[in-house]
Structure 1
Amino acid sequence: MIKKKMKVQENSFRKLEDPLLDDKSSKYVFYVKIDDVAEGIPMTTNPRDQKLTSNVAKAIEDSLDSNDGYFHLKNRGIVLSAGKVHYDNKTKQVSVYFDDESLHGNIDGGHTYKIVCEHIGEGLQQYVQFEIMTGVEDIIEKLAEARNTSVQVDEKSMAELANKFDPIKEGIEGMPFFKRIAFKQNQVTEDSRSGKNLKMIDAREVVAIINMFNIRKFPNTVQPVQAYSSKGKMLSMYLEDPEEYRKFINIMPDLFDLYDCIEIDFAEAYNNNGGRYGKKKYSSYKDGQIIGQSKFGQNDLVYRIPDGLMYPTVSAFRSLLEYDEGNEVYKWKADPFHIWEANKKNIVGKIMSFASSIGDNPNAVGKDSNIWDLAYMTVLLSK
Structure 2
Amino acid sequence: MNTKFRVKTVRTIASPSNPDVTTYYAWTEFQDLPQGISLEVNPRKPKMNTSVAKQLITAVKSTDNYFDLNNRGIVITANNFKFHTNDSMAELDLGDDPKKFGILDGGHTYQAIIENRIHLPETTKKYVKLEILIGKDLDVAALADARNTSAQVSDLALFELDDKFDFVKEAIKNEIYANEIAFKDNDNKRIPIIELLKLMFAFNIKRFPDDSSAPVSTYSAKHSVFKDYKKEFDSNPNIYKQLALQIPKLVELYEKIQTELPEKYQEFKNEDGKTGRFGSVRGVENNGNFSTLFTQKTLSYEISIGFILPIFGAFRALLKEKDGFLEWNFDPIQIWEKAGLRLVQNTFDTDTNPQQVGKSKTLWQSNYRIVDSIQKDLLLAYFMEQKNN
Q: What's the TM-score once normalised by structure 1's chain length?
A: 0.53
* Contact residue 266 and residue 278 of structure 2 kept, 8 A: yes
Structure 1, unaligned runs of 5 or more: 1-54, 57-151, 190-199
Out of 232, 245, 249, the residue aligned to residue 223 of structure 2 is 232
Out of 336, 339, 346, the residue aligned to residue 340 of structure 1 is 336
* Contact residue 282 and residue 353 of structure 2 kept, 8 A: no
Provide the rounded CA distance (Å) in 2 between the counterparts of 1:322 and 1:366: 25
- Pairing 1:282–2:283 present: yes
Note the C-alpha offset of 1:208: 1.9
* Contact residue 313 and residue 372 of structure 1 kept, 8 A: yes
SS in 1 for 2:374: coil
Provide the rounded CA distance (Å) in 2 between the counterparts of 1:231 and 1:153: 12
SS in 1 for 2:326: strand
Specify whether residues 240 and 291 from structure 1 end up closer, same or farther in structure 2 by C-alpha distance, changes over 3 A only: same
Note the C-alpha offset of 1:157: 5.8
Specify whether residues 161 and 303 from structure 1 end up closer, same or farther in structure 2 by C-alpha distance, changes over 3 A only: closer
- Pairing 1:166–2:163 present: no
Correspondences of 1:70-219 after superposition (within 5 Å) = 153-156=153-156, 159=159, 161-189=161-189, 200-219=190-209
* Contact residue 343 and residue 367 of structure 2 kept, 8 A: yes
Provide the rounded CA distance (Å) in 1 between the counterparts of 2:230 and 2:153: 16
1:216 corresponds to which letter in structure 2? K
Specify whether residues 155 and 170 from structure 1 end up closer, same or farther in structure 2 by C-alpha distance, changes over 3 A only: farther
**Which has the larger displacement, 275-284 or 302-311?**
275-284
Note the C-alpha offset of 1:282: 2.3
Specify whether residues 172 and 155 from structure 1 end up closer, same or farther in structure 2 by C-alpha distance, changes over 3 A only: farther
**Which has the larger displacement, 300-309 or 276-285?**
276-285
1:378 corresponds to which letter in structure 2? I
Provide the rounded CA distance (Å) in 1 between the counterparts of 2:348 and 2:304: 12
Note the C-alpha offset of 1:158: 6.4
Cα shift readout 1:350-379 (whole Å, capped 9, x = no counterpart): 111112xxxx21011111101101111111
Specify whether residues 162 and 281 from structure 1 end up closer, same or farther in structure 2 by C-alpha distance, changes over 3 A only: closer
* Contact residue 320 and residue 329 of structure 2 kept, 8 A: yes
1:369 corresponds to which letter in structure 2? K
Out of 298, 320, 323, the residue aligned to residue 322 of structure 1 is 320
Q: Give the aligned partner of residue 359 of structure 2.
A: 367
Out of 256, 263, 267, the residue aligned to residue 258 of structure 2 is 263
Provide the rounded CA distance (Å) in 2 between the counterparts of 1:222 and 1:282: 26
Structure 2, unaligned runs of 5 or more: 1-67, 70-151, 271-275, 376-389
Q: Give the aligned partner of residue 312 of structure 1.
A: 310
SS in 2 for 1:235: helix
1:316 corresponds to which letter in structure 2? A
Sequence identity percentage: 31
* Contact residue 156 and residue 185 of structure 1 kept, 8 A: yes
Note the C-alpha offset of 1:247: 1.5
Out of 354, 371, 381, the residue aligned to residue 379 of structure 1 is 371
Note the C-alpha offset of 1:312: 0.7
Note the C-alpha offset of 1:203: 1.2
Cα shift readout 1:218-259 (whole Å, capped 9, x = no counterpart): 121110101111111111111123261222233221011111
* Contact residue 319 and residue 326 of structure 2 kept, 8 A: yes
SS in 2 for 1:330: strand
Provide the rounded CA distance (Å) in 2 between the counterparts of 1:162 and 1:349: 42
Q: Give the aligned partner of residue 54 of structure 2.
A: none
Provide the rounded CA distance (Å) in 1 between the counterparts of 2:156 and 2:175: 20
Q: What's the TM-score once normalised by structure 2's chain length?
A: 0.52
Q: Give the aligned partner of residue 294 of structure 2.
A: 296
2:344 corresponds to which letter in structure 1? V
Note the C-alpha offset of 1:155: 3.7
Provide the rounded CA distance (Å) in 1 between the counterparts of 2:159 and 2:176: 23
- Pairing 1:352–2:343 present: no
Specify whether residues 216 and 161 from structure 1 end up closer, same or farther in structure 2 by C-alpha distance, changes over 3 A only: closer
* Contact residue 156 and residue 183 of structure 1 kept, 8 A: no
**How many residue pairs end up in the alignment?**
216
Provide the rounded CA distance (Å) in 1 between the counterparts of 2:331 and 2:161: 36
